[in-house]
Amino acid sequence: MNDASINQSIDHLGTELWAEIQNEAPGLFDSSYWQGQMLDWVMKDASFKTDMFRFVDVFPVLDGTDDIALHIREYLLKEGRELPKLMQVSLMAASKGLTAGLASKLIRQQVSNMAERFIVGQNAKSAIKTLRELYKSDVTFTADLLGEAVFSESEAEQYRNRYLDLVENLSNAVSLWKENDLLNTNHAGEIPPTNISLKISAFQPFLDAVDCDGAVDLLYEKIMPVLLQARKKNVFVNFDMEQWALHEISMRLFEKVCTSPELKDWPHLGIVIQAYLNSAHDDFDRLLDLAEKRQCPLTVRLVKGAYWDYETVHARQHDLPCPVIQGKSATDFQYEEITARLLDNYTMLEPAFATHNLRSIVYAIVYADNLGVPKNAYEFQMLYGMAEAEREVLKRRGYRI
């Protein structure tokens, strides 16, 4: 199939999916409509996203209407920022005058609701009910612990214990759930119904990229007990990627884990490729070499990348080469390039496409269909509480979500 034919297929399928998505969207007077509008804008505007989540983070400790109004002005209503009209009017009402008191109460409720859309529970036990409801609706999950970058050994030890608790409690609960072929099998056979994601910065304070080998050795000793318990309990483990400063440490640690005697034949390990990195194709090559070296597949979660603002500013401030691609369209293009490479090599690098972008979703489906890749050989991943219409449409079409 040539490029023109592929683009024609993308346009056709994209039009179909878009129409189905519109039929799934909540109505104008549904509260989830307004939360969805806010979250959509958060994800489209990187600067607003950063400020919004800072506001959500500090919100619980704000003291009264005046304090809330001040922080809305400082965080969300920055000079020169363009927002959807209704959102701007609402935030202005909450930031000054007689309307601030009433509006701040409404915003407090919306911030609480927003947190609930992203956070399924305070611990494994409290999250199980929500995860079970997702599972019953034919949606699987990967569970993560909130927080990055610990600052003491005791804090790191607490995080490791929480991950061990997550592995134990989630797997015990999920083992009692009814089998679901859509969620529990892929082209190669059975896959674990329990899936967790971890961040290396939660396991060791003050990781130093200068001493990469030393950092990897420290992390290996701390992470292996979690991974061995995960294998024992049949739990898939994904390694999240963080800032560029931790990139090489993460890659080397993953390579060491995957070639360890205890885990070299275990296929239920995965890692992230960030498509906005200049190194993304090199990262793909390393992971393909790793899978072929151990003759056992790995999973790759393909994301656009979440630290673009930070990486750009950090590189500029320290006069360093910028590790991220400059320009959204270039990132989108590279995302599609690596999508194609993953599908070309799906038997060794099993694709998990983490995106809410309709074009990216459609490109993956069209390319996979053209190659004859089975539907169950790849999956789509979306943030809990977001892109629910897209999720329902894809699920109905038989894709693993």
Going from N- to C-terminal start, the domains of the chain cover 28-116, 120-396
pLDDT of residue 310: 82
302 by Cβ neighbours in 10 Å (0-12 / 13-18 / 19+) ranks as buried
Query: What is the mean pLDDT of the segment spanning 321-346?
Result: 95
pLDDT of residue 30: 47
- How sure is the predictor about 332, in pLDDT bands with cuts at 50, 70 and 90? very high
Q: Is the pLDDT of residue 195 over 70?
A: yes
- The CATH class that applies to domain 120-396 reads alpha beta
Q: Which of the pair, 394 or 311, is modelled with greater confidence?
A: 394
Query: What is the mean pLDDT of the segment spanning 330-351?
Result: 97
Percentage of the chain exceeding pLDDT 90: 57
pLDDT of residue 109: 59
State the CB neighbour count (10 A cutoff) for residue 137: 11
Bridge partners of residue 195, in order along the sequence: 236
Q: Is the pLDDT of residue 331 over 90?
A: yes
Query: What is the mean pLDDT of the segment spanning 83-91?
Result: 64
d(CA 393, CA 382): 13
For tokens 């090559």, the residue is 285
Give the pLDDT confidence of 114-172 residue by residue, as tens digits: 555 556 666 667 788 889 999 999 999 998 886 656 788 888 899 899 999 999 999 99
pLDDT of residue 57: 55
27 by Cβ neighbours in 10 Å (0-12 / 13-18 / 19+) ranks as exposed
Query: What is the mean pLDDT of the segment spanning 268-288?
Result: 98
Q: Which residues are CB-contacts of 278 (< 8 A; sequence separation ≥ 6)?
A: 322, 323, 324, 325
- How sure is the predictor about 31, in pLDDT bands with cuts at 50, 70 and 90? very low
d(CA 13, CA 359): 10
pLDDT of residue 23: 84
Three-state helix/strand/coil letters over the chain: CCHHHHHHHHHHHHHHHHHHHHHHCCCCCCHHHHHHHHHHHHHHCHHHHHHHHHHHHHHHHCCHHHHHHHHHHHHHCCCCCCCCHHHHHHHHHHHCCCCHHHHHHHHHHHHHHHHHHHCCCCCHHHHHHHHHHHHHCCCCCCECCCCCCCCCHHHHHHHHHHHHHHHHHHHHHHCCCCCCHHHHEECCEECCCEEEEECHHHCCCCCCCCCHHHHHHHHHHHHHHHHHHHHHCCEEEEECCCCHHHHHHHHHHHHHHHCCCCCCCCCCEEEEEECCECCHHHHHHHHHHHHHHHCCCEEEEEECCCCHHHHHHHHHHCCCCCCECCCHHHHHHHHHHHHHHHHHCCCCEEEEEECCCHHHHHHHHHHHHHHCCCHHHCEEECCCCCCHHHHHHHHHCCCEC
Give the pLDDT confidence of 201-260 residue by residue, as tens digits: 999 988 888 899 999 999 999 999 999 999 999 999 999 999 999 999 999 999 999 999
Tokens encoding 262 = 């205890």
pLDDT of residue 21: 86
pLDDT of residue 34: 53
